[in-house]
Amino acid sequence: MSSPAPSTDIAAVPFLDLASPHAEIADEVNAGWAEVLARTAFVGGPQIKAFEAEYAAWSGVGHVVGLGNGTDAIELALRALGVVPGDEVILPANTFIATAEAVARSGATPVLVDADLDTALIDVEAAAAAVTDRTKAVIPVHLYGQTAAVEKLRALLPEGVAILEDAAQSQGAKRNGVSAGKLGDIAGTSFYPGKNLGAYGDAGAVLTDRDDLAAAVGLLRDHGSPRKYEHAVLGFNSRLDTIQAVVLSAKLKRLDGWNANRRAAADRYAALLAGVDGVVAPTVLEGNEPVWHLYVVRVRERDRVLKELQTNRVGASIHYPTPVHRTEAFANLGQGEGTFPVSEQLGAEIISLPMFPSITPEQQERVVSVLADAVK
pLDDT at 131 over 90: yes
> What's the fold here for domain 21-250?
Aspartate Aminotransferase; domain 2 (3.40.640)
> What's the fold here for domain 254-375?
Aspartate Aminotransferase, domain 1 (3.90.1150)
Burial class (CB in 10 A: 0-12, 13-18, 19+), 204: buried
Q: Where are the alpha helices (DSSP H) in 108-149?
A: 124-129
Backbone angles phi, psi at 86, to 5 degrees: 105, -25
Condensed to tens digits (0 to 9), the pLDDT of residues 270-299 reads 999 998 999 999 999 999 999 999 999 999
Condensed to tens digits (0 to 9), the pLDDT of residues 328-365 reads 999 999 999 999 999 999 999 999 999 999 999 999 99
Spell out the domain ranges in the chain.
Answer: 21-250, 254-375
Exposure letters 6-32 (e unless 16+ CB within 10 A, then b):
eeeeeeebebbbeeebbebbeebbeeb
Condensed to tens digits (0 to 9), the pLDDT of residues 97-111 reads 999 999 999 999 999
**Whether the predicted model's global pTM rises above the 0.85 cut:** yes
